[in-house]
Copies of this chain bind each other. A is one copy, B any other.
Amino acid sequence: MRKRPLILISNDDGIDAPGIYALVNEIKKIGEVFVAAPDKQQSAVGHAITMNYPLRAQKFYKNGKFFGYAIDGTPADAVKLAVGSLLKQKPDLLISGINHGANTAVSIIYSGTVSAATEGTFLGIPSIAVSLTTYGKPDFRYAAKFTKKLAQTVLKKGIPAGTLLNVNVPPIPEKEIKGVKITRQSKAKWNDWFETRKDPNNKEYYWLTGRLVDEEKSDDTDLWAVEHNYVSITPIQYDLTDYKLLGVLKKWKLDY
């Protein structure tokens, strides 16, 4: 009999977040789950890693039961440490999430949730990042069930090395979900700015605020899919080279 797959779970909302709890409860139905996640919220950390300080891993208990390891670092740190030191064998799959909030368009660059999956990808593990696209009160149940089914498909079919799946699930009841769209990353951008405020000592400080503005009208993007009640799956890779520009730059006279 084939042994159950080993599935590493991480996130960026922290090990005590409801999203990772909902995910673990579903995923443990299909495999051995190992949790290694930041000990506190790490949103918008990008792909940060900790090099100048040591890391620690604390056992974390939930409702009196061992849940996983809380790492005093970033999502990428947690994955790296789990695979490199805490686990005896390489996981068959990594799932990061379920994030409370969308990771679509350019937010992918800032996303701690995606960065945990990125680190898994670098380590040669098929990896999935999952986000629920609401900042309101979340219900993670459908997203967790969907992820379980997607995990089974990925365990069977694999993902080419170097690519991860970035999943965004709309925050609506299961019966309103229209289906799944394979999408590209939207080119929508953050229109953000700083509010300038004064502290009680009359010194200025700045607080970031803003919103994502979609100028594309195309129906093949991650953003379009979730706004139209589809689950979005975007394959993400890490060669950032702008190949179209190579030829142009080669014509510049740069041998100063």
- A197 and B51 CA atoms in complex are apart in Å by 15
Task: Judge whether A160 is part of the interface by a CB distance below 8 angstroms.
Answer: yes
Alpha-carbon distance between A122 and B190 when the two chains are bound, in angstroms: 8
Q: Is the beta-carbon distance between B185 and A241 smaller than 8 angstroms?
A: yes
B233 x A249 contact (CB < 8 A): yes
Cα(A197)–Cα(B80), bound, Å: 16
The answer to the question of A146 belonging to the interface, with a C-beta cut-off of 8 Å to chain B, is yes
| Docked CA distance A150–B57 (Å) | 46
Q: Which B residue's beta carbon lies closest to that of A118?
A: B109
A55 touches B205 (CB 8 A): yes
Nearest CB on B from A110, distance (A): 6
- Among the 9-residue stretches A3-11, A20-28, A38-46, A90-98, the one with 4 or more Cβ atoms under 8 Å from chain B is A38-46
**Alpha-carbon distance A76/B211, docked complex (angstroms):** 17
CA distance A56 to B199 in the complex (A): 11
| CB<8 Å pairs between A and B, sample of 19 | A43-B51, A46-B47, A47-B110, A48-B48, A48-B110, A50-B208, A51-B208, A55-B205, A56-B204, A109-B238, A153-B252, A162-B187, A163-B245, A184-B239, A235-B249, A236-B242, A237-B242, A237-B245, A240-B240
